[in-house]
Structure 1
Amino acid sequence: MFDTSEREEIREQLTMRARADPDIVGAALVGSGALGQEDEWSDIDLVLQLADYADEKKVVARWTKWIDEQFSTADILDVMAGGVRYRVFLLNSSLQIDLSFFSYGKFRATGNAFRLLFGSPNPPSAPLALNMDNAIGMGWLYALHARSALARGKLWQTAMMLDDLRNQIIALACLRHGLNPWHGRDADRLPQDELQALQSSRATDLTWGELGRSKEALVEQFRAEVEFHDPSRARSLAEPLKILGAAAR
């Protein structure tokens, strides 16, 4: 397990290398490190701005090789979003390093958690908002598959579909309360009565009866969220949600 002093030392080395790399013309901290809100479990989030002449793939490969040699990488994961590569490193110490390789014209703040280290960022843009329509659509889709999985006796699939349905409910609830809906980051800040309802709707074991009870409770919670966000859509969904939430026979 890494400690905070190791994390700070690695972050300083990453920053120094970025300043010395002719292919990097800007860098910023994002996430908890940018806000001074790190704890012992926080990772390193560093955004890099590529020079307009830089070859992104070669820069990424060079940085990947250097990080592995310096800090011992266990594995990497690439996430592509908006034409930007987010390379996630898992070190053997379990420390996570997120390096974002922004092209010269895309380097900018996309939220409040942005602390410029050097360079000239482009004008900031708003963070990507939760697609409410998609969250509602995915919610009823998970409910539908939970119903069919349970009817077929596929208890593990049912549990997975119910977990996915609950995630959509949490995202919609966070949106309703003005909280960050992404990856459950603000889920713990939801009102206690709502958290208790979500907890109560979890199946206590993987049995047909418990999963059926969980499905019924979650579909009702989902219906209430849809009603708040889009009453017209809630009316359209009323009958199928009633069927999906009904006790299985």
Structure 2
Amino acid sequence: MFDAAERSALRASLIAKARADPSISGAALVGSAARDAEDDWSDIDLVLQLAPDADEPRTVDAWTALVGELTPIADTFDLFAAGVRYRVFLLASSLQIDLSFWPHDQFRATDSAFQLLFGSPTPPSLPTQPDQHQTIGMGWLYALHARSALAREKCWQASMMLDELRSSVITLMCLRHGLNPWHGRDVDRLPDRERMKLEASRAPRVSGWDLDPSRCELTRLLFDEVQRIDHAHAAALRPAFQQLWTPLITVR
């Protein structure tokens, strides 16, 4: 298991390498380090600005080799978003490192947690909130698929659909309370009454007897959130939702 001292030393080495690398013209810290909120479980998030003439694939490969020289790597994989490559490292110590390689003219803050180390970023583009209408639509879609899965006695599929439905409910709850719903980041900060509702909606076992009440309760929670957002939308949805929250299994 890694410790904070190891993480700090490794991050310092990476920053020093970035300053010395002609392929890199800027760098910034993001995530918990940029928010001054690190704990024992935080990872390393380093944003790198590619030089105008840098060869991106070669630079990424060179930096992967560099990390391997500094510490044993267990695995890596890449995520791509808006033309930016995020190379995610799992170290043998179980520490995660995220290195993102930004084209020179795209280097910028995309979140309020952005600590510039060097370089010249373009104007920031802060993230938008999840779309409530889209979240509601995906929520009732998951509710539909949970119901049909249970009717077909596909309990594990139903369980997966209910997990997604719960995520939709959590997103709407977090937005209502001004909290960050991204990957459940602030769900633990919801008021006790909201978390108690979520806890009560969880099925204790993957069985029809337990999943069906969970499905009905989550569907009601989704409808409650819709009512708080848009009464007219809720009125239009009510007939369908009344069918969706009707139990499939009534006799045990």
User: Same fold by TM (over 0.5)?
Assistant: yes
Q: Within 5 Å, which residues of 2 pair with 1:20-35?
A: 20-35=20-35
SS at match of 2:237: helix
Counterpart-to-counterpart distance in 1, 2:75 and 2:85: 16
Counterpart-to-counterpart distance in 2, 1:234 and 1:225: 9
Q: Within 5 Å, which residues of 2 pair with 1:50-89?
A: 50-89=50-89
Q: 1:187-240 CA deviation, whole Å, 9 max, x = no partner?
A: 001010000010011001122111110001000000111222233322222122
Shift of 1:34: 0.6
Q: Is 2:2–2:94's contact at 8 Å kept on the other side of the alignment?
A: yes
State the TM-score, normalized to the length of structure 1: 0.97
SS at match of 1:228: helix
* Aligned residue number for residue 115 of structure 1: 115
Structure 1 79/233 Cα, relative in aligned 2: closer, same or farther at 3 Å?
farther
SS at match of 1:32: coil
Counterpart-to-counterpart distance in 2, 1:215 and 1:41: 33
* Aligned residue number for residue 144 of structure 2: 144
Shift of 1:165: 0.4
Q: Within 5 Å, which residues of 2 pair with 1:224-243?
A: 224-243=224-243
SS at match of 2:128: coil
The answer to whether structure 1 residue 163 and structure 2 residue 168 are counterparts is no
State the TM-score, normalized to the length of structure 2: 0.95
SS at match of 2:60: helix
The answer to whether structure 1 residue 191 and structure 2 residue 213 are counterparts is no
Counterpart-to-counterpart distance in 2, 1:58 and 1:66: 12
Structure 1's unaligned 5+ residue stretches are none
Shift of 1:67: 1.2
Shift of 1:245: 1.3
Q: 1:11-44 CA deviation, whole Å, 9 max, x = no partner?
A: 0011011111101000000011011110000000
Q: Is 2:30–2:113's contact at 8 Å kept on the other side of the alignment?
A: yes
Shift of 1:131: 2.2
* Aligned residue number for residue 172 of structure 1: 172
Structure 1 89/128 Cα, relative in aligned 2: closer, same or farther at 3 Å?
farther
SS at match of 2:37: coil
Amino acid of the residue matched to residue 175 of structure 2?
Answer: L
Q: 1:158-203 CA deviation, whole Å, 9 max, x = no partner?
A: 1111011001110111111111110000000101000001001100
Amino acid of the residue matched to residue 47 of structure 1?
Answer: V
Counterpart-to-counterpart distance in 1, 2:159 and 2:93: 32
Comparing 14-23 with 49-58, greater Cα deviation is found at 49-58
Q: Is 2:143–2:162's contact at 8 Å kept on the other side of the alignment?
A: yes
Amino acid of the residue matched to residue 12 of structure 2?
Answer: E
Q: Is 2:48–2:99's contact at 8 Å kept on the other side of the alignment?
A: yes
Q: 1:87-143 CA deviation, whole Å, 9 max, x = no partner?
A: 111101000001111111111112221111111111112223212222111111111
Q: Percent identity?
A: 55
Aligned length: 249
The answer to whether structure 1 residue 206 and structure 2 residue 195 are counterparts is no
The answer to whether structure 1 residue 244 and structure 2 residue 244 are counterparts is yes
Counterpart-to-counterpart distance in 1, 2:231 and 2:14: 50
Amino acid of the residue matched to residue 172 of structure 1?
Answer: L
SS at match of 2:33: helix
Amino acid of the residue matched to residue 173 of structure 1?
Answer: M
